[in-house]
Structures are given as structure tokens and as C-alpha cells.
Structure 1
């Protein structure tokens, strides 16, 4: 070891407090980064395992593939693994669920059984094509009971629509509009039951039964391939393009693709990448400020040391190597401990809280702790980089000045040309001690600069992290939109309304009856009445759909029961009694819209959600289109906007010639307009399918007066693209038409499964006929959406908690180190007669100084960082910029509180020291 390294080690030993504080800072920084990287590694592994378990371990599926195509897929080096299935057909299942009458038989290979969500509840997997496993929900959902060992003789066939097209699992049951064609009869032996598979959609008309696919694949048969790519972000698009035309349909497993770095929608990828970048910047700022403060706060002491070394012949390169050696020595001491603390802390945290993720995602397993070498390497690299940068900056200052200036510390104390003046109010508040502290700050600003900078960074960290989580949660809530009800019973006869309502209200507090008689019409919204958010939405629609000159706005009228209507008015701050007492009951408008706009920009696919208010506050009149006039010999076919690109023009109804039956029972029409529209010129229709040279009539409007606008509506009436007008049953004037109608019943319940049984009990006790196919429990669908939002919130609050701990540790470390480095200054003041009360008054002034200066610099920076978070989140969802004001208030209070506690702790140690000993010792 050379002499410079020995001197460096001796200096570190003599300045034990400063060295220990710096090592603690490195330990905290390394532990923080290790905890974050290992948590991300564990979260990635858990989420990937969950999506593979729930939906299947594949990225994309291709339907209608030939055996030759399957061989090409398996041989492609970009494919990690491929599972193959062959649709056999549908058979009558004897189900009591009217929407799911079939058994859908699928033959699957061993890879499918292993990598797709085939989770046995009893029995075993099929071992040949004559054995079959049935879904476990066939009995509770369809009322069909089987047991292991049963023999099923199935008449298998295809579902065919009226137009001759073949229907699949993605097409819901269409009752009389489809038929089942029998192709073959096959007998199976039931060998097991498995959980409802994730690849079976909620709308699927068939319960999926699985048998084993026979090998080898036969020519002339079609198969489905489920493919896991090696690098989907790099290979998936090119792979799909290469196979273009070799399959009939492609389906993407978006959840697993997102986890593996690929997004179907480019703006979602941009949002996730930019949010991750902001997240990393926040963590890096916290790490840098934590370590750098420990170095830079003692710049004057380090400057003096470097000056002494330079005066005895040390060169700049030797001083530079000395600094690097010190940083290396500190890293050797701090980083390994930090790694162990971070890994151990996160391991204990996940051991205690891992099962929480199990309940959040409704998964059969919790999050397990996993450490990847990449995560540890990133943590080590960042910690080492931070330490060396933090040590390098002070050394550059020392090397730029002469040895004499460094020893005298001439640049550390700036007397200034002007005297520091204090007002009478200042003297009264802080006394002579406060004035002394103010002058000390004015002439030794560099000793305070690092502390104020560190406090400002802590403020920026906390506010920016809160803004980051606020926008992340808002984006998730917009993307995963939740419905407003849990249970729905469709088509309840209005004649049974009174009886059913009396029984249902004994079980449910929040229930809504919505009459199915809907009035659907077009509404004209004058530009001056619409909001800025709605204008942005319509502009996005026009941009996404070329040739769309005007966005049409449909309006639906809903009639709901008076109790639900009154509850809605009260929740929105409207006097319900005054409304029902009025002579005329005007509609109330739900002034809340939601839509998703899909667009392409420079070849990139984008999906963006829009939440908006339709009209501005105070609007009480809408313009509704009058019914279209009837024209002899023509039938109404729709409306269109006849205008130019600037939006000038009118909305018009357009008509087709009325068709007449010919002698053969077919139909014919006047002119050339009986074409299907593929040849626009010869058929006499334009690009939009409208007849050319046929009658059109301008749309006329009538005024609709509304009583008020509301932001929230009862269960079952959700925000959507269409505008909604809501009226109570008592406003329905035709009682005969009311009694002949049907209504939907929407229920909100804490326990949807229990509520479903309660609904059945109401039908039974009230003697009303119950149709099980009309009861819809959306708990399973809603649980997934709700769990995703909860997961985002758990992550967000955990991140805020982590940043809060970093900020508090940073402030405490910085303030206590600052006070410790000035122990000789305080000892000198005490030797001159300053009492503990006087030192306290100095500390009170410094607390205010630290707090106000850190707010002055930190708040504008936090606004900028929060705005960057907003820009990232706005990639995928429309929202307005706002600050997390609750977090701002907490940060302001916390800055002064933490600084005060840190000062109190530090000065209590100084007061116990002997001033003479402190004056004699230049080291800390």
C-alpha cells in the first residue's frame, strides 16, 4: 500500500463520525436500490407466473393453421415453445344455462396440457383421444352432473349462422339465429375435472372439454397454435407477418406480452417506459442526495486536508487517486452490508406480506422472494457510481485552488462587502443568537448549501413520488373501468315490479329498477355549450377516423324507480323533495362520458381512454333530432353529415328505395341500388355506403329542457359514449305501456355470491317465475378488474412509503452530520458564555432557514417532476394536470418536523460534550 492510501485510511480513522455517517449513507443507498431491484424481480416473476397460470404461458395464438404451418412454427428458432389444439366440435350438453347450451370438445397435445391453464380438481389428464376431462363449472353453472368413469356419447358438429358462416367460442349463443350441424358421433370416458380455463371467454356458448391430440398431425386438418416467443418485443411482429395468410385469426395474450416488454398498443408502451424512467430518476436522485450530502457537507475539511497534502508535494493525480481509494474503501465497507440489508429486508417483507398478493389477485399462490444476479448487479453498479461521483465533486474543488488557500480555507468563509443587518422583529424573535446564526450562514454558505440541497431533494422525492403514484393509479382506473353493479336480473316483467321490489328491499339497500323502454335519438350539442374535454375527445375521434367530419352524439332516455332516482339526486346535492313536488318532471342528464379511441400514428397502434363532461355547468337545454319524415316509396336508412373538412354543412337523413317482393318471393328495388356496395360507382353508393342521387332531408331539431346535470348515476347506468337522460317511473305517462314493459334489476352488494342466492329467494318467496339464464353475476369479471387496481395502489403506496423513509433518513443524516462537523464552532460559542438556551435559539433559526430555503428550491422542482409524470400518464388516458396537494401539505409539515427532531437530537449530544475537548480536536 502506498503512502497516499495510508494517509487516506488514517484520515478516515481520525474522522470516525464522518466516515461512519458516510458508510451508513452508502449502506442505506445500496439497501434501497437492492430492495427496489429485488422487489421488481420478485414482482416480475410473480406476475408472469400468475398470468401464465391464469391465461396460459403463450404470447399469441393462431387459429386455422395447417399441419405444415404448425411444423414451421415449431421449427422457427424465434419460438420458445408451442402448444397445439384441434377443435373437434360442439355437442348438446343438456345445460340449464340458456346462454351456454353446448359442450365444446378440444383435442390438445401434451404441451397444451402443461403450458395452458389446465388445472385438475380431481382425476387425471387424458392419455388418448378416447378420454376426456370436463370443466368443473359444468355442474354449478350448467346443472349437468357427471362423475369420473362415466361414458359420454356425443353427437359433435359445427355451429352455423343463418348466413352460413361458422361460429366459434368467441361468438355468443344466438338462439334461433344459429343451428348445430351433426358431423360425427364419438364416445368418451370421463377421467377428470379441471378448473374453468382462462382461455374460455365469458361469452363462450360451450363448456370446454379436453381430450388428448393424436400424433402425428394430419394433412387437411386445421389446428390452433399457442406460441411463446423468445423475445416478443423484437420478434413477434416479424414472426406474425411471416405467417400472414397461414392462419385465419390471431389472438394476443396482452397480459403476458406486457410483462415481457411488448404492448399491442404503442402508446401504452411509451407510457410504461416513461413512467419507469421517472421512477428510476426519483430513486437515483434519492440515492445521490443521500450519499453526496455525506461527502459535500464536509467540503471545507476535505479541502484543508488536500491542501496540506499538496503543500508537501502531492500531485493532482495522487490526490485524485486518494479520493478514488477513499471511495473504494467506503464501497467495500458499505455496499456488501447494504446488499445484505436490502435483500434481507425485502425477503422478510415478502415473507410477511407475500400472501396479500394472493388475495389481491385471487391466485392460488402468493408472491415468493426471488433474487436475480441482474437485479443485484444493477444495485451494485448504481451504488458504486453514486459513491464515486459524490467523492469526485469535492476533490475537483480542492485541486483547483492553491495549497495556501486550501489550508487557510479562504474560500469557505466569505466576509462580504456588506454587513448583515437584522430587523427589530428578527432580534425580538431570535435574539442575538439568531443574529449570530444569520451572519454565520451569510459568511459560510457552503456549509449550509449541501443541507438545503439535500432537504430540497427530499421534498422533490416525496411530492414527485406521490404525483407518480397518483397518475399511475388514475391511468389504471381509466384503463380498467369498473361497472356500477354486481348482480343483474334481465327482463323482469313490469307487472311483477311492485311485488319483487317489496321483497328485494328486505335484502338490499342499493337496488335499481331500469325500464327497458329506451328512447334513442341524436342530440346536437352547440360548440359553446360543450366542455374542453369533450372537444378534445371529438377531435381525437376525427383524427382516428379519416373522413369523419363530425362526431354524432346519441342520447338514451332511461326510466328508473323513484327510490333510486331520489337517491341519485341526493348523492349529487340536488333537493329530491323539490324535484318530485314540481308540476313537470324534467329529465336529469348524466354529464359524464367515457370512450376508448383506437388510432394509428406513423404506423403505431394507440389506445387512449377519454373521460369527459359533455356540457358546461349551467346548461339546461339540449337540441334533439325530430323523427325523420316518411317518404312514399322509400325507407329511412340513416343520417349523415354533408359537409367539408372545416365542419360546414348540415346533418341529413338519407333513404333507400323501398323493396318490393318479386314473383319468386325475392325482393327487388328501383334503380341500381340493390348491390351489396362493393362497387361504389356501378351500384350508385358512395364511400360511406349512402345512395347516390336518392332523396335526403335535413334533420330538424326540438328543444329538450333538463332539470339538472349529475356526475354519478344509480347502478346499471354507467358512463359511456352515449349521453344519458334519466327520469323516474312517476314521469312515465302511459301506464298501460309501462305494465306491458320489461325492466332490468341492478344490485350492488358486498357479497355478490350471497346476493345471487338472495335474489333467487325473493322470486321463490314472492311466487314469481324465475329464469336462471336472466341472472347475471359479474363478480368474477369485476374481481379481476378490481384486483388490478388494488395491485397498482399497493405498489403506489409501497413506493411512497419507501421514498418517505429515504427522505427522512436523508434529512436526519444531513442535518446531524452538519451539526457534528460544526462542533468546534459551537464549542467556541459556549466557551464565550453562550447558554444552552442561546444554542436552542440558534437552532430554531436554522430550522426555519433550512425549511424555507428547501421549500423555495424544492417546490418548483417537484412541480416539474410531477408534470413529467403527468405527461407520461397522459399517453394512455385523458386527464388534466394537478398537483398532489395532500402530499404537498404533508411534505411541508414533515420538512420542519424532521429538521427540528434532527436538530434536537444533534444538539443534545453537543451539550453533553466538554468545550475544551471539542476545541482541541479538529477531527470528528
Structure 2
């Protein structure tokens, strides 16, 4: 260790406060980087484990494979585990549930039974191809008893839609045609089976599925050609080439169809969707850049202030012959020492902080979100190396500029302390307007800001970075949540009930069942409206121009979904959007609520787009027409005027059961009293009842007991809960990250301002020595705070808006919606910047206000 390094270490020990402030700043930065990488890895680990717990683990599925093809797949270098499965249906004799008249045989080999989440209640899992385990709900819903040890002989085959001949599966509900089941089982073979166990209903069986699950066994050596067998593979190496590799293998083996577990692969960061990949990579790059810039700002300020305090020390080194390289290296060495101490502590602090956070979150994770897995602290070598690498780079960048400044400090400048303050009349000149309006204290404060240029810029840089950090991260997290919400269906109910025979009064009786908490009865009819070009959204105008879509008398034919809500539901919805429901009950002047904001998936671009449905205003009139044809073969449509409705309100919210229209369509909401007066044929009206229930499965069972063949029940409990879980989890991490960024920004500002104020003790002592009163002194500080805040906002807000727009463009690879500034966050930033700057300055002044003037004037930074 050379003499310069020894002197640097001695100064670090002697200036304990400054060294401690610098170390704490680096620890905070490293902890933030570590926390972000650990949160990302741990969150993905939770999502992956939860998906596997619900659906099993597989990556590629090869459909309808033979024994030779199975052998070849097993021998492929990238095959880790090979699972075989087959499925078939059989009629469940004397089923008590008209909507579940089948047995659904889901058969696996040994590896498949071990991999897929199946819970045994009694007995055991099948071990031979002539053994089965039945699901528990089947026992209570079938008159035929299936006891463990009982042998049954049953014909099995495919479900076939009798209208078009398509093969149906578990996600397809029963096909009805005028209360008669319009499908059949195409029998392939008759199997004799022994019941060896009872299992819980598997997670992958939807509530509306038509068959009770039966678990069977696939014997690889005795495959039946009558029942097609699929091969599901867990791969050794997961990378972007697996899609092409799997397709090439399928082509080589003559396999016609393959599927990928896209959802699970997406969690591993692998997707065939180029738009989604671009979104993920773009967002990751932007957020990492924001984090690095924030870290550099925090650490840079610590070292920049350190160099200012060490000016005389550096001048002393220069006076005894130290070269520019040695002075520069002294700062780099200080950075290395600080990093050697801070990086391990920062990494441990970041991991410990996230571990404590996870322990707290896990207390309510299962109850609030319904997930079965817990958040586990996952620390990978890659995440630690990433945190160390980024921390080293940020420390180097942060020390580079101060090191260059240190190398240029001459002995004379250091002794005279002119390295920070180089004055000219022009540089400190202020407007007469400032003194005239705000007073002498404001003018002195503004001159101080201009006089201490480098310290002022360091403080300003901290403020600007804090603004950019907070707004960028809050915008990112809110838009990520919005994107997730857009990707979910707008499901606000548990059960949808439809019947083409029961009227609304007969349907409404199900709203009084046990467990039902709320209900909405909706009647809807499809109509048409001719809309002027100026009322069309820009996106639709563009499509009309590009595709040369013909207009009718200069107007575009909109499809209109007219929805009628029952009285209670309509009043509730009207109050929800802030309008008076009584304004829509007047039959003499009927009005409708128009859903003028829509989101839909554009299958050509693969994007989810949010846009205006129609450009209209409250008070405008819409003429509605019914469309009919002369006969079934006629292509010429005729319009029949139905009614005119005024636009009573515009909203982007939808009531339960109403789905967003696509481009070129619009939803209108009216009360049932107005709907009943319209001259429309009831045969064209569809009636739905939407229920929310504390126990959707029990409510469905109660409805099914009515044994009404025309009833169609859609239970969306699992789908809706999954969407809510993802949004809730995202919210927890999003707001946790925003809180972290906010605390770091506040610490950064306090650190910079308090240290800067400490360096100005002589300046403040001089002002007090020439007669400035405590009141005037505090007034000057308040104006300095005001100037700092205004200047920081003048730079920080435009930069933040630019970063937010880049994030918006990155998300635009997959989602498309209008760019909107987060005005509430901007207002919060404006208030908080002035509050934090003022508080930091007053806190720092309070620490030095009682110091002796003479001692402060004699102070030297050493």
C-alpha cells in the first residue's frame, strides 16, 4: 500500500461522519439493487410453483403419438421427463346433474401421476391400465355406486358435436339444441376397470365441464390405438430455441400437432410472442436504467461532497509532489474501500429486508389471494453477481467525475478554497424583480444558489433524479397493473345463468338462493346505428381509409348492444358513475348511458388495444335500427327503425355481465322500464342473470337441482379469482417498490442538503456577523428551498414525462391505449419536493444555528 492510500485511509478514519454518510449511501443503493433482483426472482419462483401446483409441470406436448415416436422423444437429448396421457369419455348412467352426464377419463403413466396435482382421499392411485381412481364429486352426484374394489365394464370414446362433427373436450360445455343434447359419444372400445381409489376434483376440471374426472393409468408397453396418446415433455434446457427444436423434432417424427405450455414458459421468460418479448426486454432495460441512474446519483453526491471536503488534503498532496494520477487514484481507492465495506452489507441488508417483507406478506397471502404456495426468498448466484456487478459499475461511474476534479485541484486553489466558488458579477447577478417582490432575503438566497454552483448542482441533481425515479416507477407499476387488467376478461360476477325459455321473472327466482350476495338481470338485443364520420374514433377512420370500407350515405353502420338492467342494478350503476338514475327513467325523453371507452384484442397485430368507442357528447341523439333479412338465404339486409335514445351519460365503466364492444361497436345501458317500452320482438332478446355468491359451487348445485334443461350455467369463480390474485400480487410488489424508491429519494435529498449546509457554516456565520436576524435567516432559507424546488421541477418533470413515454412505448408492443399523464402522482411530487427540501434545510440549519460565529468563521475543511 503506497503512501497516498495510507493517507486516504487515515482521512477516512478521522472524518468518521463523512465516511459513514458515504458508506450508508452506498449501502442503500446496493440494498435497492439487491432487493429488486431478489423480488423479481422470488416473485417468478412463486408464480412458477403456483402454476405447477395447480396444473402440473410440462413444457411441450406432442399429440397422437405412437410407441416408436414415444421412444424417439424419450431419447432426445433435451428430454428430461416424459409423461404420457390419454383421455376419453363415457356416459355416466343415471347422473343427477344434467350438465355433467359423462365420465371423463384422464389417464397418465407413472411419471404423469407423480407430476400432476392429484390428491388421494381414499385408497390409492392406479398402477395398471385396468385400474382407475374416481373423483369425489361423482359419488354424490350419481345414482350408480362406485365403491373401491368394484369392477365396471364401460364403453369409452370421443365427444362429437352432432351438428358439425367437431371433437369436444373438458372446456366445452354441453351442446344443446332445443333442450336436447346435440352431441354423442363415438365409442372406440369397451374397457373393464377396477376402482382402486377416490381423489379430490382436480384443479384443471372447470366447474362447467360436462364430465366427472376419472384418473386412469397409461401402460407404455400396451398402448391402445383406439384411444390417442399424447406425450408431454419436461425439458432439460429452457431457452428461446425450444419452439423451433420441438417443431423440427415433430416434423422429423411425422407428428402433426404440438402444443406448448405458453403460460409456464412465459414465467421462465420464454415466449414465442415477439411483441411480448419486446415488451419484457424494453421494460426491463428502462427500469434497470432508472435504478442505475438513481444509484449513481446517490453515490456520486456522496463522493462529490467528499472531494469538496478534502480539498485542502488534496492540495497538500499536490504541494508535496503528488501527480494527477495519484490524486485521481486516491478517490478511486476511497471508492474501493467504501465499496468493499458497503457492498456485502448492502447485499445482506437487501436480502434481509425482502425476507422480512415476505414473512409479513405470507401471513395473509393465502387468505387474501387464495394461492396455496408461499413466497420464498430465492437468492440465486446470478442475482447476487448482478447486484455486485451493477454496484461496482455504479461506484466507478460515481467516483469518476469527482476523481477527475480531484486530479485538477492545485495547491494554491485548495489553500484559497476557490475550487468550488469562482465568482463574477455576471454569474451572481439577480433580477431586481426578485428583491422588489420577495425582499432582500430572497435575493441573498438566490445569490447563494448561484454562488455555490457545484454544491447547488449536486443538490439539484439529487432532486431531479428523485423526481424521475418516483414518477417513472409509479407510472411503470400503474401501467403494468393496467396492462394486466386489460389482459383479463372484465368478469365481475361468479355465475352467469341463461335460458332461451324462461322469462326474466322465472330467472330472477335464483337471485334469492342461499349464498347469493348480489344479482343483476340483463336483457340485451343487437341493433344498428348509422354514425357520422366526425363521431368515429381516429383508429376506425384509419381502418376505413386503409381498407376502403364503403359507407352508407356518408355514415358508418355501428353495431349497438343495447342492455337493460333491472331497477336496483341500474340505480347502483348510475350512482357508481356519478349520474342521477332518475334522469333515465323518463319515458318521454329516453336516454342511455354510453360506454365510450373500449378495450379489445386486435388479432392481426396481437395487441390489446384501448380506445374510444365513439366520439359523442351528452345530449346527442342516436337512432337505432333493427336488421332483418327477407329469408335465410338472402344477403340483402333491411333496416327497421326502433327508437331514438339520447346520450344521458358517458363512462368507461361497465356493469357486471356487460362485455366491452370491439372497434365499430358501442354498448348502451338503459333501465328495464325504458327497455320494456321499445317496439322490439322478444324472440331477439337474450336474458341473462348474473350472480355473486359467497359459495359459487353451492349456488350452482342449488340451481341444478331445479333440473331445468334450458338452463345454461357458467361458473367463472376460478378464472376470476386467478385474475384477482395476479392483480393483487402485482399491487403488493408495485407499491412496495414505490415505497422503497420514495424512501431512497428522501434519504438522497436529506443526505445531499444536510451535508451541503454543513459545508456552508462559514458563509452562514458571515451573514450573521453582518447583522442578519434569525427571522431573516430563516426567510432566506425558505426562499432557497423554493428556488431549489422550482428548478428541480423545471428539469425533473420534462425528463420524467420523457421516461414515462418511453415506458408507454415499450408496453405498446403488446398493449395499446392512450398515453395519460399521472396527474395525481405529479401533484404528489410537487408537494413533496417543496416539503422535503424545506424540512431538510430547516433540520440542517437547526443543527448549526447555535454555533459560535467566530469558531465558524475560523473553520477549515480538513
TM-score, L = length of structure 1: 0.83
The aligned counterpart of 2:789 is 851
Counterpart residue number, 1:644: none
After superposing the two structures, state which structure 1 stretch, 43-52 or 612-621, moved more: 612-621
The structural deviation recorded for 1:796 is 1.6
* Residues 512 and 745, structure 1, Cα contact 8 Å, conserved in 2: yes
Q: Check the 8 A contact 1:430/1:841 in 2, yes or no.
A: no
Alpha-carbon distance change, 222 to 840 in structure 1, aligned in 2, over 3 angstroms: same
1:803 matched to 2:773 = no
User: Is 1:66–1:219's contact at 8 Å kept on the other side of the alignment?
Assistant: no
- Written as runs of structure 1 = structure 2, the 5 A alignment for 1:483-562 is 483-491=491-499, 497=505, 500=508, 504=512, 510-515=518-523, 519-520=525-526, 523-535=529-541, 553-562=558-567
Separation in structure 2 between the aligned mates of residue 217 and residue 232 of structure 1, nearest angstrom: 34
Contact 2:91 2:103 in 1 (8 A): yes
In 2, are the aligned partners of 1:106 and 1:209 still within 8 Å (CA)? yes
Q: How does 1:194-593 map to 2 (within 5 A)?
A: 194-201=199-206, 204-216=209-221, 218=223, 222-229=228-235, 230-244=237-251, 246-359=254-367, 361-400=369-408, 402-418=410-426, 420-421=429-430, 423=432, 426=435, 429=438, 431-432=440-441, 434-491=442-499, 497=505, 500=508, 504=512, 510-515=518-523, 519-520=525-526, 523-535=529-541, 553-565=558-570, 567-569=572-574, 571-572=576-577, 575-583=580-588, 585=590, 589-593=594-598
Could you tell me how far apart the structure 1 residues matched to 2:756 and 2:539 are?
Answer: 50
Contact 1:608 1:877 in 2 (8 A): yes
Q: Distance in 1 between matches of 2:833 and 2:161?
A: 69
Is the aligned partner of 1:598 residue 2:603?
yes
The residue number in structure 2 matching 1:866 is 804
User: What CA deviation, in whole Å up to 9, does each residue of 1:115-138 have, x standing for no partner?
Assistant: 223343444322222322223443
- Decide whether aligned partners of structure 1 residues 536 and 595 sit closer, same or farther in structure 2, where only a CA change above 3 A counts: farther
Partner SS state of residue 658, structure 2: coil
Give the Cα separation in 2 of the matches to 1:502 and 1:481.
24
CA distance in 1 between partners of 2:210 and 2:712 (Å) = 15
Structure 1's unaligned 5+ residue stretches are 545-549, 601-605, 639-652, 654-697
How much has 1:867 moved relative to structure 2? 1.0
Q: CA deviation at 1:462?
A: 0.8
8 Å CA contact 1:430, 1:845 repeated in 2: no
1:6-44 deviation line (CA, Å, top 9, x unaligned): 111122223322211101101111111112212222112
Q: Which secondary structure state, in structure 1, belongs to the residue aligned with residue 241 of structure 2?
A: helix
| 1:85–1:754 CA distance, 2 compared to 1 (3 A) | closer
Deviation at 1:5, TM superposition (A): 0.6
Q: 1:305 to 1:537 in 2, by over 3 A?
A: farther
Q: Describe the SS at the equivalent of 1:636.
A: coil
Compared CA separation, residues 59 and 356, structure 1 to 2 (3 A) = farther
Q: Which of 707, 716, 727 is the equivalent residue of 2:657? A: 716
Deviation at 1:750, TM superposition (A): 6.1
1:231-279: CA deviations, max 9, x gaps?
2422223322441483344333222111111224221222222222222
Q: Is the 8 A contact 1:482 1:786 kept in 2?
A: no
3-state secondary structure, aligned to 1:705: strand
Shift of 1:394: 1.1
**How many Å apart are 1:429 and its aligned residue?**
4.9
* TM-fit CA distance, 1:801: 1.0
What is aligned with 2:614? 614
The residue number in structure 1 matching 2:842 is: 904
Q: Distance in 2 between matches of 1:228 and 1:499?
A: 47
Match of 1:627 in 2: 628
**Of 892-901 and 71-80, the range deviating more from structure 2:** 71-80
CA deviation digits over 1:451-491, x for unaligned, max 9? 11101110111111111112111111111122232223322
- Range moving further from structure 2, 21-30 or 256-265: 256-265
- Cα contact 1:268–1:607 (8 A) shared by 2: no
Is there any run of 5+ residues in structure 2 with no aligned partner, and where?
A: 550-554
> Could you report, residue by residue, the CA deviation over 1:536-579 in whole angstroms, capped at 9, with x for unpaired residues?
67789x699xxxxx997533444544554455555555554454
Superposed CA offset, 1:304-361 (max 9, x none): 4333323322223222322221111111121121122111111111112124433454
1:636 alignment partner in structure 2: 633
1:742/1:391 Cα in 2 relative to 1: closer, same or farther (>3 Å)? closer
Could you say if the C-alpha distance between residues 252 and 840 of structure 1 is closer, same or farther in structure 2, counting changes exceeding 3 Å?
Answer: same
Asked whether the 8 Å contact 1:297–1:818 carries over to 2, the reply is yes
Whole-Å Cα distance in 2 between the matches of residues 499 and 109 of structure 1?
45
CA distance in 1, matches of 2:92, 2:40: 48
Inter-partner Cα distance in structure 1 for 2:496 and 2:102 = 23
Q: Distance in 1 between matches of 2:565 and 2:270?
A: 44
Q: Indicate conservation of the 8 Å contact 2:622/2:646, yes or no.
A: no
> Residue in 2 aligned with 1:747?
691
Equivalent residue for 1:819?
757
Secondary structure, aligned partner of 1:599: coil
Name the Cα RMSD after superposition.
3.6
Task: Work out the CA distance in 2 between the residues paired with 1:197 and 1:543.
Answer: 51
CA contact (8 A) 1:59 1:257 kept: yes
Q: What per-residue deviation string (whole Å, max 9, x for no partner) do you get for residues 732-789 of structure 1? A: 36999769988322234566467658x75xx99xxx8766964443222211112122
Inter-CA distance 887–592: structure 2 relative to 1 (3 Å threshold): closer
Q: For 2:489 and 2:544, locate their aligned partners in 1 and report how far apart those are by CA, in whole Å.
A: 20
Secondary structure at the counterpart of residue 343 of structure 1: helix
C-alpha separation in 2, matches of 1:202 and 1:894: 50
Deviations 1:853-885 (A, max 9, x none): 111111111111111121122222221111111
Query: Is the deviation greater in 863-872 or in 841-850?
Result: 841-850
Q: Does 1:173 align with 2:112?
A: no
CA deviation string 1:377-426 (max 9, x = no partner): 11111112111211111121233465434544434222213363464864
Question: Cα 1:588–1:323, aligned 2, differ >3 Å: closer, same or farther?
Answer: closer
**Separation in 2 of the partners of 1:166 and 1:576?**
48
The residue that corresponds to 1:892 in the other structure is: 830
Q: 1:52 to 1:844 in 2, by over 3 A?
A: same
- CA offsets, 1:807-853, max 9 Å, x none? 11111111111122223433454555655445433322222222111
| Whole-angstrom CA distance in 2 between matches of 1:399 and 1:236 | 55
CA–CA distance in structure 1, aligned partners of residues 593 and 84 of structure 2:
54
**1:67 and 2:76 matched:** no
- Given that residues 354 and 368 in structure 1 are in contact (C-alpha distance below 8 angstroms), is that contact kept between their aligned partners in structure 2? no
Q: Cα gap change, 1:428/1:599 in structure 2, threshold over 3 Å: closer, same or farther?
A: closer
> Does the Cα contact within 8 Å between 2:533 and 2:556 map onto a contact in 1?
no
Deviations 1:263-303 (A, max 9, x none): 24221222222222222122222211111111123443445
Q: Distance in 2 between matches of 1:50 and 1:885?
A: 36
The equivalent of 1:124 in structure 2 is 124
**How many Å apart are 1:186 and its aligned residue?**
2.9
Bigger drift between 825-834 and 466-475 goes to 825-834
Contact 1:490 1:744 in 2 (8 A): yes
Answer whether contact 2:46 2:376 (CA < 8 A) is retained: yes
Relative to 1, partners in 2 of residues 1:578 and 1:105: Cα closer, same or farther, differing over 3 Å? closer
Distance 1:388 1:724, change over 3 A: closer
Which whole-Å CA distance do the structure 2 matches of 1:80 and 1:159 have between them?
Answer: 33
**How much has 1:922 moved relative to structure 2?**
2.7
Structure 1 window deviating more from structure 2 (772-781 vs 34-43): it is 772-781
Distance 2:678 2:447 in 1: 86
TM-score (norm 2): 0.88
